[in-house]
Amino acid sequence: MSLIRDAAFPDARITGRELPPGVDELVAVTAEGPLVIYARGLSTAGQRFAIAHALAHLLFDVGVDVHGVQPDEPYDAERETRADAFAFELLCPRCQLLQHIVLWPDSDDDAEGYRDQVDQIAAEYHLPPAAIDQQIRELARTKQ
């Protein structure tokens, strides 16, 4: 992740702050360069995901003359989905994740075993378990 930041946004500042509930990160382009603010209360794994998500917004959503999403703009589900997908693939590529999956969700397999598997993968990739669960469920939908 730092290689992408250093190559694409060498003047970016990434910092933590207290953010409103439900807001994990904010992205802005300032005169001094891009600014990413992650929610200080997130776990380290949550911070990593929030920063990767923010980098996706900088890469895909912020043009030269655009200053990101303005506070009065509506939520853009397509942008958020794309930023999540980028963060997942950057931090835990699907090809690697597939190698760890033994149990799939919503099957007759052991539900606790599935949760243990998610926790183990999350620990290995330093990501929130909910993010790993979401990615596995997406893989399950696409493999059918």
The angle at the Cα of 63, spanning 85 to 22, to the nearest 5 degrees, equals 45
In the chain, the percentage of residues whose pLDDT exceeds 70 is 89
Helices 111-125 and 129-143: crossing angle in degrees, nearest 10, is 110
CB 27 within 8 A of CB 58: yes
Give 30's strand partners. 33
Q: What is the pTM of this model?
A: 0.83
- Residue 134, pLDDT > 70, answer yes
82 has a pLDDT exceeding 50: yes
Q: Which of 118, 85, 82 is nearest to 100 (CA)?
A: 118
Does position 85 have pLDDT exceeding 70, yes or no?
yes
pLDDT for the residue numbered 125: 96
pLDDT, tens digit, for every residue of 38-59? 999 999 999 999 999 999 999 9
